Amino acid sequence: MRKLAIVAALLGFVLTGPSDALAQVKGVYWGTSGFFGPFNIQDLIPSVPKEKARNITIPVSVWIIDHPKGLVVFDTGNNAKISDGQCKTHWAAGNCDGLKPTQKRDDVIDRQLQKLGFTPDKVKVVITSHSHLDHIGNIKLFPKAVHVIQKKELYQAWWPEKFQRGGGVFVMGDFDGEARDFNYLELEGDYDLFGDGSIMVLSTPGHTLGHQSVKVKLPSGQVMVLAQDAIWMQENLDGYPAGLNYSVKDYNNSIGRLKMIRDLENGEIFFGHDQDQWKAKGGKWYK
Ligand SMILES: [Zn+2]
């Protein structure tokens, strides 16, 4: 019996060994749904002092994560209708004039997936950082996916506070109609997406009521912290808070949290809208 138990244990090791090894992210792709700008950085971050002011043209980050248990998209960018100068058919005119989106139809998440050899209907999970127009824009392209979002963020999208609604940054057309009946995995905090620790959804409120970020562990051991709008760009990390926040207190706590995760795990933070980081590191796979 004892021998049998040892053999069974060894077999178990052999059988679980490879599947554990497989339960790793195969790669992470950093894409952009076109660009915003150029405009003065102070338009977005009024706390940046005059001497550090400059014109910026920023990416609209979207992420594709290839995992053996399923293909994951983290944020779906600007709605496809924003493409090729057609902004005012879908957004408030003020946001088209202010953000100056330059998105070509080929920049939209479905075409990006196709360029990488995937099809949109193969996407198993769509994680949405928050419900602003440049992050939730194309969830309707993924009717079969499980949509992972904080419960509070869904509520806020449908009935935002007056001070958040004013700028037209929640666009009802992005998540009404058929999107009401999608499968939402409504979170109230952090979540280990595939149960193997390789893709962690992290609650990072502040920019919006229910903002969330994602931490990915690559096979190489590298830890990527995909902050999205918890940290727009380097200036925010340097201590200049963003101009648009649901709660400045929560916003600062979330930045602190991501910095500590970065330092404890020797990781790297990727910002949602940083011109220079995108130029140096965007548009490519991380493995
Ligand atoms: Zn954004």
Higher model confidence: residue 9 or residue 153? 153
Q: Distance between CA 143 and CA 160 in Å, rounded?
A: 24
pLDDT, position 219: 93
- The alpha carbon of 15 and the centre of ligand 1 are apart by a number of angstroms equal to 44
pLDDT tens string 109-141: 999 999 999 999 999 999 999 999 999 999 999
- The alpha carbon of 181 and the centre of ligand 1 are apart by a number of angstroms equal to 25
Q: Distance between CA 258 and CA 253 in Å, rounded?
A: 9
- The alpha carbon of 261 and the centre of ligand 1 are apart by a number of angstroms equal to 22
- The alpha carbon of 229 and the centre of ligand 1 are apart by a number of angstroms equal to 5
State CA 228 to chain mean position distance: 5
pLDDT tens string 28-82: 999 999 999 999 999 999 999 999 999 999 999 999 999 999 999 999 999 999 9
Q: Distance between CA 282 and CA 207 in Å, rounded?
A: 23
- The alpha carbon of 135 and the centre of ligand 1 are apart by a number of angstroms equal to 6
Secondary structure (DSSP) of the chain: -HHHHHHHHHHHHHHHHHHHHHSS--EEEEEEEEEEEEEEHHHH-TTS-GGG--EEEEEEEEEEEEETTEEEEE---S-GGGGGG-GGGTS-HHHHHHH--B--GGGSHHHHHHHTT--GGGEEEEE-S--STTTSTTGGG-TTSEEEEEHHHHHHHHS--HHHHTTT-S-GGGTSGGGGGSEEEEESS-EETTSSSSEEEEE--SSSTT-EEEEEE-TTS-EEEEEETTS-SHHHHTT---S--S-HHHHHHHHHHHHHHHHHTT-EEEESS-HHHHHHH-SSEE-
- The alpha carbon of 147 and the centre of ligand 1 are apart by a number of angstroms equal to 18
pLDDT, position 4: 55
- The alpha carbon of 18 and the centre of ligand 1 are apart by a number of angstroms equal to 39
- The alpha carbon of 45 and the centre of ligand 1 are apart by a number of angstroms equal to 13
Partner residues linked to 150 by β-bridges = 187
- The alpha carbon of 9 and the centre of ligand 1 are apart by a number of angstroms equal to 50
- The alpha carbon of 201 and the centre of ligand 1 are apart by a number of angstroms equal to 17
Secondary structure (DSSP) of 105-132: GGGSHHHHHHHTT--GGGEEEEE-S--S
Surface-to-core class of residue 30, CB atoms within 10 Å of its CB (0-12 exposed, 13-18 middle, 19+ buried): buried
pLDDT tens string 181-232: 999 999 999 999 999 999 999 999 999 999 999 999 999 999 999 999 999 9
Are 245 and 236 contacting, i.e. CB atoms less than 8 angstroms apart?
no
Neighbours of ion ligand 1 (CB under 5 A): 134, 229
Q: Distance between CA 270 and CA 226 in Å, rounded?
A: 5
- The alpha carbon of 129 and the centre of ligand 1 are apart by a number of angstroms equal to 9
Please give the model's pTM, rounded to 2 decimal places. Answer: 0.92
For the chain, the average pLDDT equals 93
CA distances from 42 to 60, 96, 171, 242, 264 (A): 18, 18, 24, 9, 32
- The alpha carbon of 75 and the centre of ligand 1 are apart by a number of angstroms equal to 10
In the numeric block, which tokens belong to residue 221?
A: 């051991």
* Phi, psi (degrees; rounded to nearest 5) at 26: -85, -30
State CA 82 to chain mean position distance: 19
**Residue position matching structure tokens 């996407």:** 123
